[in-house]
């Protein structure tokens, strides 16, 4: 079966972000960008399914500016077979991305779609669920283990999910949508020869207009601020002093 994997270009997770002086947004000029860590896990899972002979083809897709092609090339270097870039400079919210991905699902007819559980920039945790709703496919979110069971029409996808109290396993009919949690796998690094080969792999460029989708949303960003700074604390010299401070100064004991 074909596996579709969605990736997002985000600010690198190690970067300490800065809010713009006019509070319009976070400053992204000259900041290191990378593939969203949860998307790396999604690509890794898709590639592993191919190595196991479950997936026949892995297609990577992204929605974003021209520069997002770097992240598609990374996915290709990691083992994806081809890529689709839906190019837009607009701020694409989860709903618009889900609508575009639903069109790609309709066109490509994958047996499985893998996404990260959330992007570390907007921290929304919505796109996979919205895509499942729009395509009418079942969803296995926050997956820490994915396994195909049964044959033919009995074929199911068993997804172990990280839920608040522990773990939950559900069975889904295929095709299905899966979003990855951190413990699903350990993503590999791209090797230099694979990075070179990835440059020759096919990458289709489309626009939201090709799919007849409006990217603009009804949610507007009014202001972005830095969170209240915590005031500098003190170092205490002993356990006795710590307990004394907690009792008499902070009054939390």
Partner 1 sequence: MSILVLADLHEGQLAGTTANVVAAAQAIGGDIDVLVAGEGVQAAAESAAKLDAVSKVRVADNAVYAHQLAEPMGALLVELAGDYTHVLASASTTGKNVLPRLAALKDVSQLSDVLGVESADTFLRPIYAGNAIATVKSDDALKVITIRTTGFDAVGASGSAPIEAVDTVVENTQSSFVKEELAKSDRPELGGAKVVISGGRGMGNGENFKLLDGIADKLGAAIGASRAAVDAGFVPNDMQVGQTGKIVAPDLYIAVGISGAIQHLAGMKDSKVIVAINKDDEAPIFQVADYGLVGDLFEILPELESKL
Q: Please report, as residue ranges, which positions from 25 to 54 form the binding site for partner 1 (by CB under 8 A).
A: 26
- Enumerate residues 60-89 that contact partner 1 by CB under 8 A: none
**Residues 129, 118: contact at Cβ < 8 Å?**
no
Q: What angle do CA 146, 197, 72 make, to 5 degrees?
A: 55
CB-wise, 79 or 175, nearer to partner 1? Answer: 175
The site for partner 1, by CB under 8 A, has a size of: 75
Rounded to a whole number of angstroms, the minimum distance from the CB of residue 29 to partner 1 is 15
Q: Which is nearer to partner 1, 62 or 179 (CB)?
A: 179
Length of the chain: 253
Pick from 67, 133, 196, 209: which binds partner 1 (CB under 8 A)? 133
Question: Quick one: CA torsion of 75, 97, 208, 112, rounded to 10 degrees?
Answer: 60
> Site for partner 1 (CB under 8 A): which residue of 32, 151, 235, 248?
235
Instruction: Choose which of 98, 105, 114, 215 interacts with partner 1 (CB under 8 A).
Output: 98
Nearest approach, Cβ of residue 124 and partner 1 (Å) = 5
Residue 196 lies near partner 1 (rule: CB under 8 A): no
Is the Cβ–Cβ distance between 155 and 111 less than 8 Å?
Answer: no
> Looking at beta carbons only, is 53 or 232 nearer to partner 1?
232
Cα 93 from Cα 42, distance rounded (Å): 20
Which residues 6+ apart lie within 8 Å of 3 measured at CB? 46, 49, 50, 55, 57, 58, 59, 110, 111, 112, 113, 114
Q: Is 148 a residue that touches partner 1 (CB under 8 A)?
A: no
97 contributes a contact to partner 1 by CB under 8 A:
no
């Amino acid at each position: 079966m074909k596996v579709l994997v969605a990736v997002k270009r985000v600010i690198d997770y190690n970067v300490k972000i800065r809010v713009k002086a006019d509070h319009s947004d976070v400053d992204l000029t000259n900041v290191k960008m990378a593939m969203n860590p949860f998307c790396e896990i999604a690509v890794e899972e898709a590639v592993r399914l191919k190595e196991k002979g479950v997936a026949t083809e892995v297609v990577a897709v992204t929605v974003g500016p021209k520069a997002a092609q770097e992240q598609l090339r990374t996915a290709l270097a990691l083992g994806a077979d081809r890529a689709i870039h839906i190019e837009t400079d607009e701020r694409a919210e989860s709903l618009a991305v889900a609508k575009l991905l639903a069109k790609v699902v309709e066109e490509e007819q994958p047996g499985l779609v893998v996404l990260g559980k959330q992007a570390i920039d907007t921290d929304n945790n919505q796109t996979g669920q919205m895509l499942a709703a729009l395509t009418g496919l079942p969803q296995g979110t926050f997956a820490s283990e994915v396994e195909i069971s049964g044959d033919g029409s009995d074929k199911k996808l068993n997804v172990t999910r990280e839920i608040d109290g522990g773990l939950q396993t559900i069975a889904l009919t295929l095709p299905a949508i899966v979003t990855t949690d951190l413990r699903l796998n350990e993503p590999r690094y791209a090797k230099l020869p694979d990075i070179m080969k990835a440059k020759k792999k096919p990458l289709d460029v489309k626009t939201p207009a090709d799919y007849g989708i409006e990217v603009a949303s009804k949610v507007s960003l009014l202001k972005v601020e830095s969170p209240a700074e915590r005031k500098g604390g003190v170092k205490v010299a002993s356990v006795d002093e710590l307990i004394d401070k907690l009792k008499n100064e902070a009054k939390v004991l």
